[in-house]
């Protein structure tokens, strides 16, 4: 009898776990200004976001993990020249592409990240390799690229990453925001020209959370500069039972304020809801510092939050009902 009862209990708890409301949320960067976003560009970006959403969500629907889902989604955005990650990444002051990416898996608490890598087609795959194949969390530059070669990841020529739009963006940024060619993050400066980034957070049917972020960083950054995206707890964080977070915006502020972990900490220790935690950080704490940006987050019940304090942030989500939501200027 006892065995029978525990079998029923186990079956119930497994089905309860299998019932988590699969949810995927994406962002394509917070540096969007209404008057600078042409309708054709917006339509093209929405199309790619939908493709990315459907790809990641298909993984979740088939019972795949949140880790697999966020990677599948981010790869679509990295491959698109329209977003600041992988192909289409912004350029450094010297006109080169240096990419950062991070992945964190809530069920294991493991994470992998890369910074300042060149030529690797999908930095998010390399972040996963750091997590899976090394005892480290964050690898940079040549060492990270050597790992990519060892793991047979795909490389592309430097020119493959550089789009005419980003060349032009660098020129404009240099004129407007880069006096003497040096990027200095000054509060109050218009960063709409400079910021971008892509990210994904997901809850899978087993109730496991994951977060992934990939970026070229800030346009016109000094070579060697690393932003918040690959820093666990700043731009990227996931913890089962709490939340998964991916940020976008003026990275220096997100680093100094440990934004992604602050969301989790407020939920864990102050019992804040996902909505309250994320909104307070973006719309009060960061806004007071004149720090522009936003984030996407999902909690363990499938609640989502997409706050931003810039004019617009490309973001998209899909929950158990399978309905596609894509927005730019409203949450």
**Residues designated catalytic:** 197
Which residue lies nearer to ligand ASP by CB, 207 or 293?
293
* Angle ∠(328,93,96) on CA atoms, nearest 5: 85
Q: Which of residues 199-218 bind ligand ASP (CB under 6 A)?
A: 215, 217-218
Supply the minimum distance, in Å, between the C-beta of residue 101 and ligand ASP.
11
Is 228 a binding residue for ligand ASP by CB under 6 A? The answer is yes
Which residues does residue 209 pair with via DSSP β-bridges, in sequence order?
A: 203
Q: Which of residues 165-204 bind ligand ASP (CB under 6 A)?
A: 195-197
Q: Which of residues 30-59 bind ligand ASP (CB under 6 A)?
A: 31
Among 66, 214, 229, 300, binds ligand ASP (CB under 6 A): 229
- Of 269, 229, 279, 263, which is closest to residue 249 (Cα–Cα)? 229
Residue 328 contacts residue 316 (beta carbons within 8 Å): no
Residue 308: helix, strand or coil by DSSP?
strand
Rounded Cα distance between 176 and 101, Å, is 28
- Total residues interacting with ligand ASP, rule: CB under 6 A: 15
Rounded Cα distance between 2 and 11, Å, is 14
DSSP codes, 121-138: S-HHHHHHHHHHHSS-SE
Which residue lies nearer to ligand ASP by CB, 195 or 238?
195
Which residue lies nearer to ligand ASP by CB, 22 or 226?
226
Among 25, 26, 28, 29, binds ligand ASP (CB under 6 A): 29
Binding pattern to ligand ASP, positions 289-328, x when CB under 6 A?
----------------------------------------
Binding pattern to ligand ASP, positions 246-275, x when CB under 6 A?
--xx-x------------------------
Residues listed for the chain:
331
CA distances from 235 to 185, 199, 252, 256 (A): 17, 10, 10, 11
**Which residues contribute to the site for ligand ASP (CB under 6 A)?**
29, 31, 195-197, 215, 217-218, 227-229, 235, 248-249, 251
């Amino acid at each position: 009898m006892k065995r029978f009862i525990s079998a029923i209990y186990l079956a119930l708890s497994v089905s309860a776990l299998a019932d988590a409301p699969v949810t995927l949320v994406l962002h394509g960067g917070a540096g969007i200004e209404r008057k600078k976003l042409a309708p054709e560009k917006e339509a093209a970006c929405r199309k790619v976001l939908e493709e990315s959403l459907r790809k990641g969500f298909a993984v979740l629907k088939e019972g795949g993990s949140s880790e697999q889902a966020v990677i599948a989604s981010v790869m679509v955005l990295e491959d698109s020249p329209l977003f600041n990650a992988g192909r289409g990444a912004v350029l450094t002051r010297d006109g080169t592409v240096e990419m950062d990416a991070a992945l964190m898996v809530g069920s294991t608490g493991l994470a992998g990240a890369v910074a300042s890598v060149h030529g690797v087609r999908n930095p998010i795959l390399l972040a996963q390799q750091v997590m899976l194949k090394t005892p480290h969390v964050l690898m940079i530059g040549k060492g990270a690229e050597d790992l990519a070669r060892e793991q047979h990841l795909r490389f592309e020529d430097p020119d493959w990453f550089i789009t005419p739009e980003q060349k032009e963006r660098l020129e404009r940024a240099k004129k407007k925001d880069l006096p003497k060619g040096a990027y200095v993050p000054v509060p109050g400066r218009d960063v709409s020209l400079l910021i971008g980034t892509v990210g994904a957070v997901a809850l899978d049917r087993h109730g496991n959370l994951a977060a992934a972020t990939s970026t070229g960083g800030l346009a016109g950054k000094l070579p060697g500069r690393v932003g918040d995206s690959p820093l666990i707890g700043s731009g990227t964080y996931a913890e089962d039972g709490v939340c998964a977070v991916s940020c976008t915006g003026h990275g220096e502020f997100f680093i100094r304020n440990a934004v992604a972990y602050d969301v989790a900490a407020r939920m864990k220790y102050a019992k804040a809801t996902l909505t309250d935690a994320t909104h307070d950080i973006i719309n009060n704490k960061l806004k007071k510092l004149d720090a522009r940006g936003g984030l996407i987050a999902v909690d363990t019940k499938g609640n989502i939050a997409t706050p931003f304090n810039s004019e617009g942030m490309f973001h998209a989500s899909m929950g158990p009902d399978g309905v596609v939501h894509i927005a730019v200027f409203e949450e």
